[in-house]
Structure 1
Amino acid sequence: MARIIQMPSKDELPEGPTRTFVVALRLYYRSAGRPALREISKLIEGRQDLNNITASQETIRRILRGLVVPHDWNRVNAVLQVFCELSKIDPEADADQWEHMVESHRDYIKRLWDEALEAEPDAPRTLPPTPPPPSSRPGSGGGGFSDDPPF
């Protein structure tokens, strides 16, 4: 039996556009019967109708846990397409039975994905560590010379 990917707590994934996107995508995951990550990945692999996108099990897990919002819509669309196929939902049909909106399932998820992507903070820049300043104590190698032999 496949391990079920749990919805992250509000401490793990606070309210906001990313959580809204994850909650919505997980509706399709649940409707598809919570398939194994391996199955989802295999159903995506090598499909020309999905632009030959790949999605590893880890990528899918991270999306469903809200750890990442892919920058590539094709990857999200591929995951959604597989969920829709498994649950026999036409992704181009109106999603109004779920959200009382007149947009397709695909457009609904794409809108939430856009909002989540735009709300993500820029990744923090990490700078290389600054080397310590050379010591100026006598005999400590200050001045650019070392007591060690050159070999």
Structure 2
Amino acid sequence: MSASTVSPQPGGPHRELAEALQELHRAAGRLSFRKVSTLIRGREDLLSDASHESVRSAVNGIRVPRWETVHDIVMVLAGRCSPSRDEHSETARFLPLWRAIHEGESGALKSFQELLGGGWGGEDGRWTPELVIGALINPFSAIEIHPSLAVPHEPLVSEDTWVRAMVRFIEEQGAEHALRVLLHTLKGDYVGAEEGAPYGYRNPDREAMEAYAAFRYGCREILRRLRREPNLLAESILAMRADETMDRDDRAEMLENESDLSLMREVMIVTPDTWDEVSEDAHHMVFGYLIKQISPVGPLGLPEAERFRIVWRVPEPPDE
């Protein structure tokens, strides 16, 4: 419908816009249309120079107004309501009403950016179009989402990357296929599910195996260095004691272990030749003295030297 179309008795979306303008006009004390026009023209931040006839036609629903006219009427009247209404919140409320006249139901819905700024609405207890569509598109409304997908996790990709990937998927496979795959995924059949791991987490058994592999690799590297550097253990103990960045809990645990004199006697005789003769507790103590951190940096299947990275308390001297 064009701006010049006459509609003495508006219907549909035009009627909703007119009724909303009339309600706002009443809340502002029924200012004269000439006064509203004067107030609009007296502000430099508005979009139009709406005459009193343009204001009258818009409020009474005689013609479909331009958005600039609706915007300015709302801006002027909002601040004169009792209690006062926020100008920008009111214009955001009126924009979908005006769009619906030209675009139908889709125009009445908020854009994504409008949702970010103003939310879904419904604060007054009424169902807005956004609330209805929001409930319909939320997979929670249609299925029971698998509990392993409800745990907090570190995102693997950014939201923008996910959106681009889904757009590409829809373009190549079709919207219906993409949506059914999404629901299927949310019901628990996702990549990694066959391993029993919650989404975003590693398999606990695999983590334990990886920690054990890191410990065994670290021990072999300790023996390699002890063969080359006989004083390494004593130097590492001194370096650990001087390390102000050491975690308090780790330091407390180390000090508690050091109070076990029999364990410390084992630790102090550790050499490559006696390694297999001392307890596993002694191995862990020596590990903590020599290695500040060991972490996986490569996938399973790589050589251990490439798979794990060791941060020594005493840096390894360069090869001569």
Pairwise same-fold verdict (TM > 0.5): yes
Give the counterpart letter for 1:58 in structure 2: E
Aligned to 2:70: 76
Aligned to 2:91: 106
1:41-67 deviation per Cα after TM superposition (whole angstroms, max 9, x unaligned): 10000422113x211111111111111
Structure having the higher Rg: 2
Aligned to 2:58: 63
Counterpart among 41, 60, 67 of residue 45 in structure 1:
41
The TM-score, its normalising length taken from structure 2, stands at: 0.28
Q: Which has the higher contact order (CA 8 A, sep 6+)?
A: 1
User: Which runs of 5 or more structure 2 residues have no equivalent in the other structure?
Assistant: 1-6, 105-320
Greater helix share, structure number: 2
Aligned to 1:115: 100
2:10–2:62 Cα contact (<8 Å) kept: no
Aligned to 2:26: 30
For residues 2-13 of structure 1, the aligned pairs below 5 Å read 12-13=8-9
Give the counterpart letter for 1:15 in structure 2: G
Percent identical across equivalent pairs? Answer: 34
After superposing on structure 2, the runs of 4+ consecutive aligned residues of structure 1 that deviate more than 3 Å are: none
Pick closer, same or farther for the CA change 1:12–1:46 going to 2, 3 Å.
closer
Q: Distance in 1 between matches of 2:16 and 2:98?
A: 9
Q: 1:118 deviation in Å?
A: 3.6
CA-atom RMSD in angstroms? 1.9
Pick closer, same or farther for the CA change 1:79–1:14 going to 2, 3 Å.
closer
1:32–1:83 Cα contact (<8 Å) kept: yes
Aligned to 1:18: 14
Aligned to 2:123: none
Q: Distance in 2 between matches of 1:115 and 1:47?
A: 28
Aligned to 2:228: none
